[in-house]
Amino acid sequence: DAGVTQSPTHLIKTRGQQVTLRCSPKSGHDTVSWYQQALGQGPQFIFQYYEEEERQRGNFPDRFSGHQFPNYSSELNVNALLLGDSALYLCASSLGQFANTGELFFGEGSRLTVL
C-alpha cells in the first residue's frame, strides 16, 4: 500500500522564480493538506483541498496556490519566490476533510532552497 508520495524531493530556485510541488495521497484518501516546515520549526498549515476545492487556508499570501485533481493528487504552486520560502514542504492526506481518527498521513516532503 503506497503511502503519501511527493516530488521532487529536493530543488533549488532563485528569487522571483516559480515552483510547483506535487503530491499523491495515500491510497483511498481524498483530502490533501500542505504544510511548510522551516528549519528548526514545526509545520505550518498552508491549505487543504477536498473535492477539488480549497476548503481551509492558513496565514499564507496569495503567492501560494494549489490544485487538486480528480484522482485526488495535488499540486502546490509558489510564485515570486522569496528567500524566506526556503523550507521543507509537507503533504498530508486523510479520508474526508479530517479523518475521524484525527490522523494525517505525511509524505517525506520536498526540500526547497531559494537562492
Partner 1 sequence: GNSVTQMEGPVTLSEEAFLTINCTYTATGYPSLFWYVQYPGEGLQLLLKATKADDKGSNKGFEATYRKETTSFHLEKGSVQVSDSAVYFCALTFSGGTSYGKLTFGQGTILTVHP
List residues near partner 1 by CB under 8 A: 3-4, 31, 33, 35, 40-45, 48, 55-56, 58, 90, 92, 97-98, 101-109
Cis peptide before 8 (omega within 30 of 0): yes
C-beta separation of 9 from 77 below 8 A: no
Least distance to partner 1, CB of residue 108, Å: 5
Q: Could you tell me the three cell numbers for 42?
A: 514545526
State which amino acid sits at residue 33.
Answer: S
Rounded Cα distance between 80 and 77, Å, is: 10
Residue 77 beta carbon to partner 1: minimum distance, rounded to whole angstroms: 20
Minimum CB separation of residue 67 from partner 1 in Å reads: 18
- Give the integer Cα–Cα distance in Å for 98 and 87: 25
Report the residue number, 7 or 56, with the smaller CB distance to partner 1: 56
**With respect to partner 1, which residue has the nearer C-beta, 66 or 109?**
109
Task: Compare residues 11 and 106 and give the one whose CB is closer to partner 1.
Answer: 106
